[in-house]
Amino acid sequence: MTDTPIRLLLADDQALVRGALAALLDLEPDLTVVAQVGRGDEVLHAVREQQADVALLDVEMPGLDGIAVAAELRQRYPACRSLIVTTFGRPGYLRRALDAGASGFVVKDTPAEQLAEAVRRVHRGLRVVDPDLAVESLAVGASPLTDRERDVLVCAAAGGTVADIARETFLSEGTVRNYLSSAMGKTGGRTRAEAARIAQENGWLLG
């Protein structure tokens, strides 16, 4: 334990989740929650104002996703470690979060004692990764999709037609079909909707 409590920032767009995490972590004598935010684009300001030591970040948040926030923190406030704490335990998210500079990645159903210990380890400069997710990430591998293939699948996941996707991505309908066909081949999806679902489940669609 440290003489001075580790200062924590919680970033999650669900207020109930933030409150529950704060209540659990504040029970630890060496941890103190100094800020809570509901948007990714509010994190850096709060880190600077509250001098947070560790930022606990959800992945999917409005304004800026948690992986992008981790990258910004590494660049602008490297003294503040980032720990991804998310419902979305997708292997693609894990790989990208670590590449972005996150020090750890755990899921929200991690027991409170383990979460508190993960915070302590991250604060000490260690890396903490959910073991089951680490194994799955190795099995799945990196995303096979190009940026454009990902873009068209994101639109497909929202239910867009080829014409809708073409308008959204500023591509011709023929080019969209080509990208969708390529993405289906890489994911093994028989339809564009299935390809989008597979990519989403693997964490390959986050921008």
What is the per-residue pLDDT for 140? 62
**Structural domains of the chain sorted by starting position, each given as residue range(s) with its CATH number in brackets:** 6-140 (3.40.50.2300), 147-201 (1.10.10.10)
What is the per-residue pLDDT for 103? 95
Whether the CB-CB separation of 120 and 6 falls below 8 Å is answered with yes
Whether the CB-CB separation of 70 and 102 falls below 8 Å is answered with yes
User: For residue 34, which phi and psi values (nearest 5 degrees)?
Assistant: -105, -10
d(CA 35, CA 46): 7
What is the per-residue pLDDT for 9? 98
User: For residue 129, which phi and psi values (nearest 5 degrees)?
Assistant: -135, 135
Check: pTM over 0.85? Answer yes or no: no
What residues contact 130, with CB distance under 8 A and at least 6 apart?
89, 94, 105, 106, 107, 110
Per-residue pLDDT in tens (0 to 9) along the chain, 207 residues: 447 999 999 999 999 999 999 999 999 999 999 999 999 999 999 999 999 999 999 998 999 999 999 999 999 999 999 999 988 777 678 888 888 999 999 988 888 899 999 999 999 999 998 877 766 665 566 788 898 998 999 999 888 899 999 999 999 999 999 999 999 998 888 899 999 988 888 878 875
CA 30 to each of CA 6, 102, 129, 147, 161: distance values in angstroms, whole numbers, following the listed order: 6, 22, 22, 43, 53
State the chain's maximal CA–CA distance in angstroms.
63
d(CA 148, CA 179): 7
What is the per-residue pLDDT for 164? 92
User: Of 205, 193, 90, whose CA–CA distance to 154 is shortest?
Assistant: 205
Helix or strand (DSSP H, E) at 135: helix 131-140
What is the per-residue pLDDT for 6? 97
What is the per-residue pLDDT for 141? 65
